A and B are shown apart, each in its own frame.
Chain A
Amino acid sequence: MPALTMTEKILAKRLGKAPSPGEHVVVPIDYVYMHDGTFPLALRVLREMGMEDQVDPGRLILFIDHAAPAPSVAAALVHQEMRRFAKKHGVRLHDVGRGISHQVMVEEGYARPWRIILGADSHTVTLGAVGSFATGVGSTDAAVAAVSGKAWIRVPEQVRVRLSGAELPRGVMGKDVALKLVSVLGANGAIYKALEFQGDLEALSLAARLTVSNMVVEAGAKLGLFPVDELTAKTLLEKYDVEAPRLYPDASAEYSDELELELGSLEPLVAAPPRVDNVKAVAEVEGIEVDQVFIGSCTNGRYEDFVAAARILRRHHVRESVRCIAVPASRRVFQELSRDGIIDVLAEAGCVVTYGTCGPCLGAHFGLLGEGETAISTSNRNFVGRMGHRDSKVYLASPLTAAAAAVTGRITDPRSLI
């Protein structure tokens, strides 16, 4: 038996043998999901192919999360169509307020180790943090997978990313690890590749791992897989009542490339506009004024992210010149935060709080930017015009760094406030 990587193990389990990188294989999938941004085109494809009635309700999952609740009549019509479709075909629909798809996929236990999952969204790679072979596709691929239960994939080359360091330094979060990774790889540095994380994983909580896996697509990667160890299995069981089988690579598995990240020397980072790999130390951009702060998204909308932000917002009010928008990724996250008094902390500090929408991250709704405005955001992309006007700017950062900017009105090293 040859030594296998995690990517090879998951594929070999389905195919009966480990395929080689570069090979095209057809694999069965466990789930395919779509949201209100990608569903309309998928439905159009299904209808054009005459296959709408053949969708497999056991495999397809729908989410209303990108513009939720509907900010326009056009969005409302899409949502209506999704509800009609779900009812007609018996497909599971997670409606307005349930949460952002990638977060809910974990909470509901759809995403588990060893599963193969496609999502009609590029950040589907988030689920690699719980050991799912999960990657983004377009609407046509998703529509076809919803009918056939299969997809063709190109087997990716696998890269080992070795993390070293017992814990993250003070003021450093999973987001800083993700930004460092993207800056080292570059925006095109991992195109078509599977990144497999190994080494000192105890330093990263499950929430931090989800943030790191979420952002591997910003280097072009197809997968960002973490081993499923005690920490992940325990968290999934305690939080979501999910029994997770372990997943590890074989010790002597071979990789096409290897990369090492030393966690102990990390400091708070930002990705300066207009590229995610344009990463700088906070110290290099300290003092830049911000008009808006967004804490949320599939990257950083989890419980731990708002607890971190609250460390600063508990003792300082949001500056008058700043709009601070806080959007927990799901209703469940909101309820956990509410139970522990964190929602009150955010509101008392002056944040606008809602939950369960992707809205601000992609400029869909709930806080777009005007001409010449600057935002600091915990989301994953800072492209030209991403969050609003084409002459607005977005700096990406951790929830701690975002909260620090909310209270000072300028990009600020969060270590000065915690």
Chain B
Amino acid sequence: MSLVVRGRAWVLGDNITTDHIISGKYKYSKMGRLEDMLPYVFADVIPGFYEKVRPGDVIVAGEGFGYGSSREHAARLLKMIDIGAVMAKSFHRIFYRNAINSGLPVIVAKRVPDVTEQGDIVEVRIEEGIVTNVTRGVVERVAGLEEPLLSILRAGGLVEYVKRHGRLPW
């Protein structure tokens, strides 16, 4: 899997919680069947998101993305919907771990989120640590990821890593 993602931006603000991504109500009415939860992703915050999202789209958010419940469903569902990457000014730690374990690229950027408008084309280079708003010509150098997180992302998640290598990365 290439760790360069280019796609349309879905712009969100600060403090997007895992409840915003997938509400506990749906989680407990569907009790663990991820496929059944897909249509409810962002249902309470972006009406029609599931119909409108396209593979490779990038979520661009503010501070504190992924606040709240430890439910990994939030990261998994974004990956299953084929979100290319999530860029935010900061992430809550459980979501961040879950995203990497699910093979969903996540990157912290401070400036690009401020200049990005809904539908702009953005590019994320995870390995080099470069994010670009292609539409507006803004480039930002950010911290890249370290091992073993890069290897997990390259494999497409921890499960895929273990399937491929027959062992855990640590």
A interface residues with partner B (beta carbon < 8 Å): 24, 26, 36-41, 44-45, 48-51, 66-67, 72, 74-75, 77-78, 119-122, 124, 136-141, 144, 148, 150, 152, 154, 187-188, 191-192, 220, 222, 275, 362-365, 368, 381, 383-386, 388, 390
Contact = CB atoms under 8 A, between A and B. Distances in A.
Interface of B: 14-15, 17, 19-20, 23-25, 27-34, 44-45, 63-64, 67-73, 75-76, 90-94, 97-98, 101-102, 146, 148, 157-159, 162-163, 168, 170
Given A150-B170, A187-B64, A383-B20, A49 B70 contact: no
A37 B69 CA distance: 10
A49 B162 contact: yes
Contacts of A44: 32
B70 to A, nearest CB: 4
A388 B25 contact: yes
Given A144-B168, A191-B90, A48 B32 contact: no
A154 B149 CA distance: 12
Contact of B28 (A24, A141, A363, A385): A363
Given A78-B32, A148-B168, A383 B68 contact: yes
Given A138-B70, A148-B168, A381-B68, A40 B97 contact: no
Contacts of B146: 24
Contacts of B76: 41
Contacts of A390: 44
A188 B170 contact: no
Contacts of A275: 15
A386 B24 contact: yes
Given A136-B94, A188-B90, 9 more contacts: A48-B159, A51-B162, A72-B28, A72-B29, A74-B33, A121-B70, A138-B70, A139-B72, A364-B28
Nearest first, the 7 closest Cβ-Cβ pairs linking A and B are: A40-B32, A138-B72, A138-B98, A74-B31, A188-B64, A140-B101, A364-B28
B74 to A, nearest CB: 9
A44 B33 CA distance: 10
A140 B27 contact: no
A250 to B, nearest CB: 26
A41 B24 contact: no
Given A78-B32, A150-B170, A187-B64, A363 B70 contact: no
A38 B163 contact: no
Contacts of A37: 27-28, 71
Given A122-B68, A220-B67, A362-B69, A138 B97 contact: yes
A146 to B, nearest CB: 12
A39 B72 CA distance: 11
A291 B23 CA distance: 22
Nearest to B24: A362
Contacts of A40: 31-32
Nearest to B25: A363
B98 A191 contact: no
Contact of B73 (A41, A144, A386): A41
Contacts of B15: 187-188, 275
Given A121-B70, A381-B68, A141 B97 contact: yes
Contact of B75 (A51, A119, A138, A191): A138
A188 B17 CA distance: 11
A67 B29 CA distance: 10
B27 to A, nearest CB: 7
A140 B70 contact: no
8 contacts: A37-B28, A124-B70, A136-B70, A140-B159, A188-B15, A188-B67, A362-B69, A384-B45
A307 B47 CA distance: 44
Contacts of B159: 45, 48-49, 140
Contacts of A381: 19, 68
A50 B165 CA distance: 12
Contact of B72 (A38, A150, A388): A38
B64 A191 contact: yes
A300 B72 CA distance: 25
Nearest to A380: B68
A77 B63 CA distance: 38
B99 to A, nearest CB: 9
Nearest to A78: B31
B67 A187 contact: yes
Contacts of B63: 188
